[in-house]
Chains A and B, each alone.
Chain A
Amino acid sequence: MRLILQLSRKNLAGRPGRAAAMIALAAFLAFAIFAGSVVSMSLQRGLGTLENRLGADIIVVPASAKSQFNVNDILLQGNPGYFYMDREKLDKIAEREGVAAVSPQLYLASMVASCCSSRLQLIGFDPETDFTILPWVRESYRGEIGLYDILVGANVTVSGDYTLRFYGIDCRIVGQLEKTGSGLDNAVYANWETIEKLIEASEEKNLNKYSVKADSVVSSVLVRVADGYDIEQVLNDINLRVRKVTAVRASNMISGIAENLTRLSGVISLLIAGVWLLGLLIMMIAFSMMTQERKREFAVLRAAGASRRQLGALIFAEALIVCCAGAVFGIALAALIVWPFSTAIGSALGVPFLLPSLPTMLALMAATLAACAVAGVLISSISAVRIARQDTGLILREGN
């Protein structure tokens, strides 16, 4: 085995141009499959995380909000914006048949002004009833969330003093949340009381476009439908029986994103398949030509005592070295591009984008390496079989 590896290494080193071209091709294949898979998985993971974060079956917003705002942008992308409805709607929704749980949320957008650190979406939740934000918060922060304590999304820049100023009030950052890959990473989360105080502060400064009593309004109501009930029926019931609200099915809100994502993943998979098919074909032809050109060398090896199996192993070893070296380069290149630019890629694609976890990434690297090794065996198998089957005497005769 040592001899085979030694010979294959020397053979490749003896033809550096060709070896480099083959390694580059293998690197391209590894890049395509690794980068493509990472992008695909990041999209899936981003969507999955967004679904989890949304966590409700139905989201109810004021009917006026639906016409004035792109509610999806506020709820899913974390774009700053706010709207309110009377708190009594919460009780009316909770009374509807088939509603298992309700939890209100209260929104406020900060401003680009001296009163505020930066323009961000502020989301208040009720720790007593919440079933969407708290589970997420608990992944990063287990302590009590007091007055003026805030948790920030993964994309919010945290300054050295761990405070953010909103409408003249300094809020203490007690934790930064796990990345979701969506716009929710740009928002700030606080308990109900904090957002009420901030709304009051914004009104005192005449910086709130509404004039509301903070303790008597909610921005949205998240609804969980009881088991055995049809979500669509409960949604229609709310829309019919509760006045001046619009109930939206949560899965519908992300269905556009999901469709985009499915389409994008399909295109990526198709591209990977095309690249691999073409790449494998080119490599197979190139490898076959290279071995045919060297068949006299193989005949000399046979004359010196090499068995057919050793010749086959030599050809396999060369292909494996080429493909594995290429895989390492391709994976490294893909990682260097995808890792640092993941946020930019997500923004460019306009869909939630969350890189797979490190263990998944390492497994993906190993799988890419294995796929390239299998490709190496595949592309060399025809050449190996052909060379090993040929009568050495005939090859030597041809050369004379």
Chain B
Amino acid sequence: MRLTAEKLTRSFTRVRQGTNILPAVKETSFALPEGSLTEITGRSGSGKSTLLHMLAGLLRPTAGCVLLDDRDLYALDDRTLSALRAKHIGVVPQGQTGLRSLTVMENILLPAMLTGVKGMEPEAEALMERMGIADLRGAKPGELSGGEMRRMSIARAMLLRPEILLADEPTGDLDDENTARVLSLLRQAADAGTAVLLVTHEQEAKRYADRVWRMDAGALVMET
């Protein structure tokens, strides 16, 4: 599956300080090739996360469109878009993303539960093993460290083996060892055919990426 952005624009309106319209992403065209790991880097507030959310179908663009193969995500009704995202797009949101009333295992199984896919427990176990959180399957997110929570979130996004994986700062709270572990896992996913987009400040990520883009004031610039 191929994810493409065409002239994607997103502005935010700040009402409090007068009606300022702040452009976060400006007419960005971008394609995420299958079987590759693409990194987007850039300063905080440069529009990286906004672009990722639009690509994931989670934030409606002010202008432009996002195509999954030839389907415009934002032309779909919510039910179809949600089903499409659950099945084909894995999203690792930034920050703490655990559902506090569910265990780690249940958190990871969430996409399967939402789509009604059964028998994913062995896959979840395997992902927890690879992420180094196998001992925490029965723990609640409140009992996890920031790094453990990030790894749980990545495992959840990868559970249904999506064709597209969008990760927003997935190594944000991780130590070097776990950063390497996660980056290596994303690399393996890309090698297995997944189109991986990695939004990060992590310098080490460049070593794993096929392409690196830099986001600068809402515009995407090819770095390598």
Hey, which bits of chain A sit against chain B, CB under 8 A? 3, 6-7, 10-11, 13-15, 296-297, 299-310, 391-394, 396-397, 399-400
Contacts and interface: CB of A to CB of B under 8 A. Distances in A.
A303 B93 contact: yes
B171 to A, nearest CB: 15
Contacts of A299: 58, 93
Interface stretch (B26-34, B109-117, B190-198): B109-117
A15 B110 CA distance: 20
B137 to A, nearest CB: 16
Interface residues of B, number: 36
B44 to A, nearest CB: 9
Interface in B94-132: 94-102, 106, 110-111, 113-116
A300 B168 CA distance: 13
B54 interface: yes
Given A301-B110, A304-B114, A305-B85, A392 B58 contact: yes
B101 A13 contact: yes
Given A14-B101, A297-B99, A391-B60, A304 B111 contact: yes
A305 B83 contact: yes
Top 8 A-B residue pairs of the complex, sorted by shortest distance between their CB atoms: A305-B86, A393-B59, A14-B101, A393-B53, A307-B82, A392-B58, A303-B91, A393-B58
Given A297-B100, A300-B99, A309 B111 contact: no
Given A11-B101, A391-B58, A392-B59, A308 B78 contact: yes
A308 B76 CA distance: 13
30 contacts: A3-B114, A7-B102, A14-B100, A14-B101, A15-B101, A296-B95, A297-B100, A300-B97, A302-B58, A303-B91, A303-B93, A303-B97, A304-B111, A305-B83, A305-B111, A306-B86, A306-B114, A307-B82, A307-B83, A310-B82, A310-B114, A392-B53, A392-B59, A393-B50, A393-B53, A396-B58, A396-B168, A397-B59, A399-B95, A399-B96
A396 B97 CA distance: 9
Contacts of A13: 101
Max chain B C-beta neighbours (<10 A), residue from A13, A297, A303:
A303
B158 to A, nearest CB: 12
A394 B60 CA distance: 10
B177 to A, nearest CB: 25
Contact of A3 (B56, B82, B113, B156): B113
B49 interface: yes
B95 A305 contact: no
Interface in B38-57: 49-50, 53-54, 56
Identify which of A14, A307, A394 gathers the most chain B CB atoms within 10 Å of its CB: A307
Contacts of B99: 297, 300-301
Contacts of B111: 304-305
A22 to B, nearest CB: 15
Contacts of A11: 101
A158 to B, nearest CB: 58
B79 A309 contact: yes
A300 B97 CA distance: 6
Contacts of B110: 301, 304
Contact of B82 (A300, A306, A400): A306
A307 B81 CA distance: 8
A15 B142 CA distance: 12
A305 B78 contact: no
B78 A307 contact: yes
Nearest to B160: A305
Contact of A304 (B50, B94, B96, B156): B156
B87 interface: yes
Contacts of B60: 391, 393
Contacts of A297: 99-100
Contact of B94 (A6, A7, A310, A400): A400
Contacts of A307: 78-79, 82-83
A347 B202 CA distance: 79
Nearest to B86: A305
A306 B110 CA distance: 9
